[in-house]
Amino acid sequence: MNLNKQKQTNTLVGVYLNRNLKIELLHKCLYGLSMQEKPVDVIFLHEGKFADDEWEVIKGVMQKPVISVFVEIPEDQREEGGEDKKLEYFEGKPLPVIDEAIEINSFANIFNKTFQIAQENKYDFFSVVECEDEVALKWYSTAHKYAEENPDTGVFLPLIRNTVGETFTSYVNEFCWAEGMTEAAGYYDLMSLTRFNCIHPLGALFRLSPLEEMIEGETIEVKDGLAYPMKEGFKLTHYYEFFLRLIYNANTKIMNVPRVGYQLRHTTTDVYTHQSSKIPSNLQNLKKENGGMTPAEVQHWTQAAIDDYIWEDDDPERIELIEQ
């Protein structure tokens, strides 16, 4: 997909539009991306076509994202006995409607497609976002400052604010700051990651050059001229295996930027399609036909990631043996 005419920056952000997206959350997501202190280019990835009326609504949000915020009313402007806050609306900048319909069976498809488009169009960095989440307005600016100061680092993870139903539950990507857990504070290493699956790729700023070096070193699979950094045959732990392989094969580092840069929203679901990178808390209670997994299957795929990262390819026969 040639973006030469639309390319404005050195960073491409792929936004996955799921079939059940909520328009009010899409407004928040796209407002944050359109108002970044350091601008980014955005491409929207989705599976198949939306209905015409749905797509018109979605395009309207792309062209005019709006958020509402309660702001305090100055004391001298308040009515006696009236409210001390009022609801104000803020309009973001329009985003070009650049979209690509692809087959999406897992988050790995979204990640790989974003990388392929970024590589084809000679971007220096790329990132992946899900449409109900929010990116802090200064996140990519902050991440780029860290990238300039750390040229040997390939991945810059945001501190993620994890929420369920708008209620804060935990931070994600902070594990590397715990005393004695990693070789260097703030950086993830192979030993820490083989012990704990504790990082998440959403919102992260990925430098393309280490991945391109891995392609040259044949530690990333290439099919029909396209590179597939994340193994699409893996279930559940595709990005975990990718991070392990990245550290093992590339002369690069993975660091956490100690700034809250991303809000990840978990929503209650009865069906897990694996198209999202967010593992539902009720995964083990879902029916198998609805994407549920047993504790043994979850443990199996976690161990499979640890066992398979030394291989570059997404070999069906080897994966079949792993599943057995």
pTM over 0.85: yes
Confidence of residue 154 (pLDDT cuts 50, 70, 90): very high
Q: Is 52 exposed, middle or buried (0-12, 13-18, 19+ CB in 10 A)?
A: exposed
Is the domain covering 11-323 a CATH 3.90.550.10 domain? yes
Average pLDDT, the chain: 91
| Residue 318: per-residue pLDDT | 63
216-256 pLDDT, tens per residue?
Answer: 999 999 999 999 999 998 888 999 999 999 999 888 899 99
| Residue 273: per-residue pLDDT | 80
Cα→Cα distances 102→1, 48, 54, 122, 253, Å? 12, 7, 18, 21, 31
Domain ranges of the chain: 11-323
| Residue 236: per-residue pLDDT | 85
72-122 pLDDT, tens per residue?
Answer: 877 767 777 667 677 889 999 999 999 999 999 899 999 999 999 999 999
| Residue 70: per-residue pLDDT | 78
| Residue 235: per-residue pLDDT | 82
Average pLDDT for 301-309: 89
Q: Is the pLDDT of residue 165 over 90?
A: no
Query: Residue 74 and residue 6: Cα distance in Å, rounded?
Result: 43
* % of the chain beyond a pLDDT of 70: 95
9-30 pLDDT, tens per residue?
Answer: 999 999 999 988 999 999 999 9
Q: Is the pLDDT of residue 214 over 70?
A: yes
Q: Is the pLDDT of residue 65 over 80?
A: yes
* Three-state secondary structure call for residue 104: coil
For 193, left (φ over 0), alpha (ψ -120 to 50), or beta? alpha
